Amino acid sequence: MDKTLEKKNGFKTLLDSYGLPRLIITCFVVLLFIMAPIVGADLTMQVGNVINRFSWNAVLVLAMVPMIHSGCSLNFGIPLGIIAGLLGGTLSIQLGFTGAVSFFAAILLATPFALLLGGGYGWLLNRIKGGEMMIATYVGLASISFMCMMWLLLPYTSPTMVWGLSGQGLRTTISLDGFYGGTLANFLRIPIDPESGLYFPTGAILFFALLAFAMWAFLHTKTGTAMTAVGSNPQFARASGISVNKMRLLSVIMSTWLGAVGILVYQQGFGFMQLYTAPNNMTLPAVAAILIGGAAVNKASIPHVIIGTILYQSVVTLTPTVMTAMIHMDVSEVVRIIVSNGMIVYALTRVIKGGSK
């Protein structure tokens, strides 16, 4: 009897720590993997797609962690970091860098923009405490609108990027072939199904692991602990001699820089650079992923990033494929929009309720 009660308590503890919503989503993902070969979808291909999408998106989700730790809430202003990354990428091409060098040059060129934009963004959030998510959303949308004009006005001349007839203004989509497309994905890649062109993106996974480890190590330093203290109890942190505004500003700059790097990682895997309103499509999936992974508005960890990205990308990738195979009709885009937006709405309701467990 005692052993039975102990098992029940152990299961309840495990359920509470993992969270019922995540357990339901995990079971749904497992069901999708089981259904894929039954309905005729290539299971190997689907697993490979999930791994690839994880490698593209994980750094953008990781960018949420610093601001959550400092109490600045979810980074709905991540388009600022994405814009910094886009500026670094376009300048790398404009200056003539090619191959793997262009990827690291893009990171270096994006860094000053990330520091500048992140600093201004952090200063603004310090001025308006308590309404960070509302202000961040406005900043993100406003910055995208502003850059829609600037992409047409900035004096780029590279024929790879500018419109052919006018020679002025950047194209909506820019191919990265010959530049940093596949830089990480092709590094030490492992064949999964070479006939279909499916490979394990070893380089991209290792790059994410490096950044994740650096983030974990930073959060265990004196500065990282102070940042966490600011997010947990700003009054206590201030009484302990910690500069609350300084820690919040540092977290915003870190998040903005990770957003810049994250979009470059995404682009190298995707193979294209998308400008103008494209950053609109990156914010909510990153927010939803980390919340589904178990993060709250004031608590996030590396496991939350990994679990959330895998669950979100698995559902978004597998559901349209399985549905299309089941009904023998191409409804992949419709289903993807419904599922992705549904998961985003669910994640945001978790924010309203106070965050996930």
Give the DSSP letter string of 239-262: HTT--HHHHHHHHHHHHHHHHHHH
pTM, entire model = 0.89
Q: Cα torsion for 304, 15, 23, 137, to the nearest 10°?
A: -40
Instruction: Split the chain (357 residues) into runs of 10 and give each run's mean pLDDT.
Output: 55 61 81 86 85 93 93 87 96 93 96 95 88 84 93 91 79 92 89 76 94 95 91 87 92 95 94 91 88 82 92 87 74 64 64 46
In this predicted structure, what is the pLDDT of residue 77?
86
**Residues paired with residue 274 on neighbouring β-strands, in sequence order:** 173
SS3 76: coil
